[in-house]
Structure 1
Amino acid sequence: MSSTAVTDIKFGTDGWRGVISDNFTFKNVAIVGQAISEWVKRDLRPPRGGQGRRVTVGYDTRFLGKEYAQIISCILARNNVEVYLGQAPIPTPALSYAVVRKKAVAGIMITASHNPGKFNGIKIKNSQGGGASTEVTKRVEQYLGKTPVRTMDCAEAIQAKRIKMCDFKADYVKFMRRYLDFPKIKNARFKVVQDVMHGSGGRILEEVLKGSQIRLTLMRDDINPYFDGGKPEPVVEYLGGILNKVKREKFDLGLVLDGDADRLAAIAPGGEFISPQRILGLIILHLVRNRGRRGGVVKTTCGTMLIDHIAEDLGLELYETPVGFKYISDLMVSKRIVAGGEEAGGIGVQDYIPERDGTLAGLLLLEMMAYEQKNIKQLLNDMERKYGRYYYERSDLELSNRALDMNRIWSIKSLLGEKVVKVTDYDGIKLTCEDESWLMLRPSGTEPLVRAYSEAKTLKKAKALIGVGERLLKN
């Protein structure tokens, strides 16, 4: 085994990602598959009520996703692991739900999430459907290249029932319909458009809403592994089509999924982009006020101050984690959490799997509209009149192989004339000022970038703070 091949494989914030036919090759996927097999056999016990060590495997709409999933499945099967393999592209949350439903010890999802089309990747899910911890991914890395790859013919494995082909989507749709207050949504007549961004969200929203009077239009629901030459990421840069459509055709709500449908953004009437930070605030309010949920709420270190004020007003305990939904997921397992979310659009909710789900988050916005008989713009206005309006900005920059100079940033005493009153450095570095504005710089865990984040009570100041961050990174 080449040491070079193994060093090309590193798990980041949300799995291992690489460029197809560069470091994300059939050979390297097989190496990872064997390492996962060793981890399953040596480190995991069958869950109570399970029949043996079984693993669910799924893939999204990216190039060669099905083939990579088959490689992983055949290696697991040859290593005496029972495999449930999805028969078609699915969202990552559908794979996570299948882990729990099939009483599996783990799940493997072939996806690079919101990365450009030249990437693919592997996410590992634990037995509860949440993202694998750093301890787990490090353990898998330790097994890389330690044993020869053992595999078998896929058709033979299916014939011998060592690989079982499954329709994960059907169970996932049924679960979401049960989770929602569907009678409340059923008779609402809102006009909704969803941009699937050519990802694995497909026509799932249409299936969940079947039988309702919601007037749904889908955009980019076909498969295009090139993603129109951009990234399947729900940020303004890639959403010109739906922004214009919501404004021009007077939709009550626009929804946007990322490539594997675990993240969400939304659009208000008039074509206004709604950031995931504001979406999380609305979902917390809805679950507490309308659905009677109680518990804590979770945001990441680059999360909005809006959540702090909502949690305080509702008497909910607030938890803050590093960036990465796996940290939120851990809290959802150990604590009673109403909802938790990250700035990139991943939101998880109570009494579901401890995982983010873009489709479900969008449906909860729709459910809130039905409960309160208001469109999304009216709900936003109500929330921000009470808790304040915060403007959030992000910029991604290459650091030209230079390390982030933490000591230099630590020494900053003021930003744009406001005194820095708090410095947080457990995930990147964040400077918070007296007026609640803040700037954060953090290396990405999924891409070769450094991200600058900012928030302020005016858009002008949020943009100015990003400018400060960019200058700190470039100079």
Structure 2
Amino acid sequence: MTSHPTRPFEGQKPGTSGLRKKTPVFMQPGYLENFVQSTFDALGGVAGNVLVLGGDGRYFGREATQCILKMAAANGVARVIVGQGAWLSTPAASNLIRKRGADGGLILSASHNPGGPEADFGVKYNMANGGPAPEAVTEAIFARTMEIDSYRKLDAPDVNLEMVGESRLGEMIVEIVDPVSAYADMMEEIFDFKALRGLFHEGFTLAMDSMCAITGPYAVEIFENRLGAPKGTVVHEQPLPDFGGMHPDPNPTWAHELMETLMGPGAPDFGAASDGDGDRNMILGRGIYVSPSDSLAVIAANAHLVPGYASGLKGVARSMPTSAAVDKVAQKLGLDCYETPTGWKFFGNLMDAGRVSLCGEESFGTGSDHVREKDGLWAVLMWLNIIAVRGLGVAEIMADHWEEYGRNYYSRHDYEVLPNDIANAMLGDLRDRLEGLKGQKVQGLVVESADEFCYTDPVDGAVSAGQGFRILFEGGSRVVLRLSGTGTEGATLRVYLERYEAGPEGLTEDPQAALAPIIAATEDLVGIRARTGRTGPNVIT
């Protein structure tokens, strides 16, 4: 029997990047099956398709892979390309979809969220371009989850996920592939590996923290095996189902071990970390942390030094909450610069249309049109290639950049696991008061404008409303507030704070001190601490 009766589960609405829930929720009988079948149905069926399948190695990933393979076979899929051991980083999956001309793929990940029996799991569908499904598709998936009454699943033994090669599951071909090689080969095509090998040969030191997550095997292959960095350059390199108890989010709070190494005595020249599924990155130099917004701007300003971008960039894009540092670079280079909602699918449209080569988000995601996902190791290699050509350290590169473009002091404050009713009521109240904020003076700042961001896609005309609140102050400072779409419990309020300093003075302040008036003004205007009872944010980046 391949058809199984079922009934809808509440709350299977995909968020910014797929469906994310607590692992026990996904492990309920029929829960994963309902969502996967709804995805197949929303696509108009998948008979005859070629799909890519894999994930970040988190708990329940192998079991989910076996389930999806049996469902794909029952739904008439022709071939599924699976990463060995059910492993595939998100950017590697995007590359495989594009390289193999697949019709799409399923990625099993909750990205930077913790993993384990009581932690988080997720599933998302990526389209034939290698990028996340657009809103029209995710809305269709959600609509189908609310009416589904049966799913199709083959009754068959599990597939051997460890043996590279082809086998059959019913009439479907299952192709197990090395999850690392195609991605590493692509990196060799983009970057000057000869120059990078020379960098390490000359004694350049790197500390790469893979946080017990998926990029460990990729980082070892690229940095240690292909570029000749010393063994042990990559730490926490073994992917573990619970990420070794770590929170695999590469920011100063969760990657504190790496932060201490780079800020301490005898620090290496360069430090980097990546997240659960390999699409995020954190960049550090000896004694300096580089904010994701600054990293995007520096990469844009120096991309021409990298072989894959030597002919120049088509344009750049950033998410609305990301600082305007890259805007300054785009203006000087004469490039179009797009401001989009949070979510890589918006960048994918621009890249597919040939409008941008480079894009990034403040949430530690940077990428280019080599794939249709953000890409953590790609960002690390961009920095290393720039360093190899310029012969400068990270601190020197940042100082030069701020002197030329000015500095966008920037920070994100996260208030996690807030009661949904309190978070929604607080932002609802702000929405009601937006029009009256203009001209108000608070903490020495004057509100220039305030709105709720609405985006009209310049490629297909799709409108995305309700994308976050912006309060702009005279002089270029601003605060942005939005609820995250990546959590699985309660509400996460993200507060983005920015102040521009043109220089030449005032470029070396501590960011939190530089932003203090804006932090105080935000509390006066929104009352986050007063209304939530919190004494401060859970995470500061």
Q: Is the shorter-chain TM-score for this pair beyond 0.5, marking a shared fold? A: yes
Q: Is 1:319 aligned to 2:338, yes or no?
A: yes
For 2:129, the equivalent position in structure 1 comes to 128
CA distance in 1, matches of 2:194, 2:320: 37
Indicate the RMSD between aligned Cα atoms, in angstroms.
2.2
Q: Is 1:32 aligned to 2:59, yes or no?
A: no
For 1:349, the equivalent position in structure 2 comes to 368
CA distance in 1, matches of 2:132, 2:215: 19
CA distance in 2, matches of 1:72, 1:255: 34
Q: Is the 2:6–2:151 Cα contact (8 Å) retained in structure 1?
A: no
CA distance in 2, matches of 1:411, 1:231: 40
For 2:208, the equivalent position in structure 1 comes to 194
For 1:261, the equivalent position in structure 2 comes to 278
For 1:164, the equivalent position in structure 2 comes to 175
Q: Is the 1:277–1:342 Cα contact (8 Å) retained in structure 2?
A: yes
Code of the residue aligned with 1:107 in structure 2: it is: G
Higher mean alpha-carbon deviation, 293-302 vs 215-224, is at 215-224
Q: Secondary structure at the match of 2:180?
A: helix
Per the TM alignment, residue 54 of structure 1 is displaced from its structure 2 partner at its CA by 1.1
CA distance in 2, matches of 1:366, 1:101: 25
CA distance in 2, matches of 1:201, 1:124: 20
For 1:49, the equivalent position in structure 2 comes to none
Q: How does 1:169-180 map to 2 (within 5 A)?
A: 169-180=180-191
CA distance in 2, matches of 1:327, 1:16: 18
- 1:401 pairs, out of 413, 421, 428, with 421
Q: How does 1:217-366 map to 2 (within 5 A)?
A: 217-246=233-262, 247-270=264-287, 272-288=288-304, 291-350=310-369, 352-366=370-384
For 1:386, the equivalent position in structure 2 comes to 404
Code of the residue aligned with 2:153 in structure 1: it is: T
Q: Is 1:84 aligned to 2:81, yes or no?
A: yes
Q: Is the 1:196–1:256 Cα contact (8 Å) retained in structure 2?
A: yes
Code of the residue aligned with 1:379 in structure 2: it is: I
- 2:150 pairs, out of 141, 145, 148, with 148
Code of the residue aligned with 2:148 in structure 1: it is: K
Change (3 A) 1:16 1:148: same
- 2:219 pairs, out of 205, 216, 227, with 205
Note the alpha carbon deviations across 1:82-101, whole angstroms, 9 max, x for none: 32222222211111111112
Code of the residue aligned with 2:257 in structure 1: it is: G
Code of the residue aligned with 1:191 in structure 2: it is: T
- 1:377 pairs, out of 379, 389, 395, with 395
Per the TM alignment, residue 288 of structure 1 is displaced from its structure 2 partner at its CA by 3.4
The share of aligned pairs that are identical, in percent, is 26
Per the TM alignment, residue 218 of structure 1 is displaced from its structure 2 partner at its CA by 1.3
Q: Is the 1:419–1:434 Cα contact (8 Å) retained in structure 2?
A: yes
Per the TM alignment, residue 102 of structure 1 is displaced from its structure 2 partner at its CA by 1.9
Q: Is 1:455 aligned to 2:498, yes or no?
A: yes
Higher mean alpha-carbon deviation, 431-440 vs 246-255, is at 246-255
Q: Secondary structure at the match of 1:168?
A: coil
Change (3 A) 1:467 1:7: farther
Code of the residue aligned with 2:17 in structure 1: it is: D
CA distance in 2, matches of 1:466, 1:74: 52
Q: Is the 2:434–2:450 Cα contact (8 Å) retained in structure 1?
A: no
Note the alpha carbon deviations across 1:272-328, whole angstroms, 9 max, x for none: 221211111111112135523132110111111211111111111110001112111
Change (3 A) 1:162 1:36: farther
Change (3 A) 1:212 1:2: closer
Q: Is the 2:443–2:520 Cα contact (8 Å) retained in structure 1?
A: no
CA distance in 1, matches of 2:392, 2:139: 47
Per the TM alignment, residue 212 of structure 1 is displaced from its structure 2 partner at its CA by 2.9
Note the alpha carbon deviations across 1:69-122, whole angstroms, 9 max, x for none: 221121011110132222222211111111112211111000000112200001
Q: Secondary structure at the match of 2:238?
A: coil
Q: How does 1:392-471 map to 2 (within 5 A)?
A: 392-397=410-415, 398-402=418-422, 403=424, 404=427, 405=429, 406-412=431-437, 413-426=440-453, 427-447=467-487, 448-457=491-500, 459=511, 460-470=513-523
CA distance in 2, matches of 1:181, 1:204: 17
CA distance in 2, matches of 1:159, 1:438: 55
Code of the residue aligned with 1:250 in structure 2: it is: A
Per the TM alignment, residue 231 of structure 1 is displaced from its structure 2 partner at its CA by 2.0
CA distance in 2, matches of 1:236, 1:434: 30
Q: Which runs of 5+ in 2 are unaligned?
A: 160-166, 454-466, 501-508, 532-541
Structure 2-normalised TM-score? 0.81
CA distance in 2, matches of 1:124, 1:414: 46
Q: Is 1:65 aligned to 2:66, yes or no?
A: no
Per the TM alignment, residue 463 of structure 1 is displaced from its structure 2 partner at its CA by 4.1
Q: Is the 1:321–1:327 Cα contact (8 Å) retained in structure 2?
A: yes
For 1:105, the equivalent position in structure 2 comes to 103
Per the TM alignment, residue 163 of structure 1 is displaced from its structure 2 partner at its CA by 2.4
Code of the residue aligned with 2:9 in structure 1: it is: V
Q: Secondary structure at the match of 2:113?
A: coil
CA distance in 1, matches of 2:253, 2:520: 18
